[in-house]
């Protein structure tokens, strides 16, 4: 039951969502490898068995991390791509560097991560991949053209890869959090928080722990035959 004995990889394990997934997976008995970029979390924040500084924009960095993870037992049961960043600015003022960095981190990083785990997953004809998207990628968001474009593209990537991997028994789904308190959102202005609450049918913000529980269910053996889907983890009515 649960994830006991499974090998799980989580990019962005230093963030609110990534670290919550790592903690929940460890409680269920999984062996977990995580990545961070600039902020190394404490063992209490992120009790991963393997925690590496990885730049997901760079393919060799991801490939090396996956290879170290494979050394654990030669198999990867699940991947969660939660690495991300923001560089907010209106479109007219956004620099090429801000656009490129956010697209590379979210979209290219997700692509590199998925591509790196496919050989062992296809060899064993099993595996589950969960990408983390955002309401911004579906509805857009003021001052976040780069972030919204990246998240929307990840959804297209998720559904395309799901079509390709179904014959291998590999499931690929996306989770879509609401506006969740984290280091990425802590600099958001008060009106952004208020808009998020107002858009919610229950007047609630996103909850990383709830999102982690949803993610672990999708990764578990109890969840079978579901692929290419978006799972919303908030109370915004679409």
Could you list the beta-strand ranges (E) of the chain.
Answer: 7-11, 31-36, 50-53, 78-81, 127-132, 170-177, 230-233
C-alpha to C-alpha distance for 231 and 175, rounded to whole angstroms: 5
pLDDT in tens, 152-184: 999 999 999 999 999 999 999 999 987 665 566
Report the domain count for the chain.
Answer: 1
- Numbers of helices and strands, H then E, in the chain: 8, 7
Residue 135 scores a pLDDT above 60? yes
Is residue 25 one of the residues assigned to a domain? yes
Is residue 238 one of the residues assigned to a domain? no
For residues 185, 189, 194, 200, the Cα torsion angle rounded to the nearest 10 degrees is -30
Active site residue 147: yes
- Cα–Cα–Cα angle for 38, 80, 224, nearest 5°? 170
CATH code where residue 212 lies = 3.40.50.720
Name the residue range of residue 38's domain.
7-233
* Given 36, 123, 147, 232, the catalytic residue: 147
pLDDT in tens, 7-29: 999 999 999 999 999 999 999 99
Is residue 131 one of the residues assigned to a domain? yes
Candidates 156, 138, 141, 153; CA nearest to 107 is: 153
Q: Hey, is 126 helix, strand or coil?
A: coil
pTM for the predicted model, two decimal places: 0.90
Cβ(147)–Cβ(141) under 8 Å? yes
Is residue 38 one of the residues assigned to a domain? yes
């Amino acid at each position: 039951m649960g994830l006991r004995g499974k090998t799980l990889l989580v990019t962005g394990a230093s963030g609110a969502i990534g670290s919550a997934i790592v903690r929940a997976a460890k409680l269920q008995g999984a062996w977990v490898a995580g990545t961070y970029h600039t902020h190394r979390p404490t063992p209490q924040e992120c009790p991963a068995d393997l925690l590496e500084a990885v730049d997901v924009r760079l393919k060799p960095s991801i490939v090396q991390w996956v290879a170290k993870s494979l050394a654990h037992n030669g198999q990867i049961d699940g991947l969660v791509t939660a690495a991300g960043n923001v560089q907010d600015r209106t479109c007219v003022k956004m620099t090429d560097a801000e656009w490129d960095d956010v697209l590379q981190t979210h979209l290219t990083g997700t692509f590199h991560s998925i591509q790196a785990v496919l050989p062992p997953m296809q060899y064993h004809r099993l595996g589950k991949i969960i990408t983390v998207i955002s309401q911004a990628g579906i509805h857009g968001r003021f001052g976040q053209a780069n972030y919204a474009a990246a998240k929307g593209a990840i959804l297209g990537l998720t559904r395309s890869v799901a079509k390709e991997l179904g014959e291998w028994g590999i499931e690929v789904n996306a989770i879509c959090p609401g506006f969740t308190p984290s280091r990425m959102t802590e600099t958001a202005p008060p009106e952004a928080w208020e808009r998020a609450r107002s858009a919610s049918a229950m007047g609630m913000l996103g909850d990383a722990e709830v999102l982690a529980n949803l993610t672990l269910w999708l990764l578990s053996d109890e969840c079978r035959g579901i692929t290419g889907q978006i799972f919303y983890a908030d109370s915004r009515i679409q």
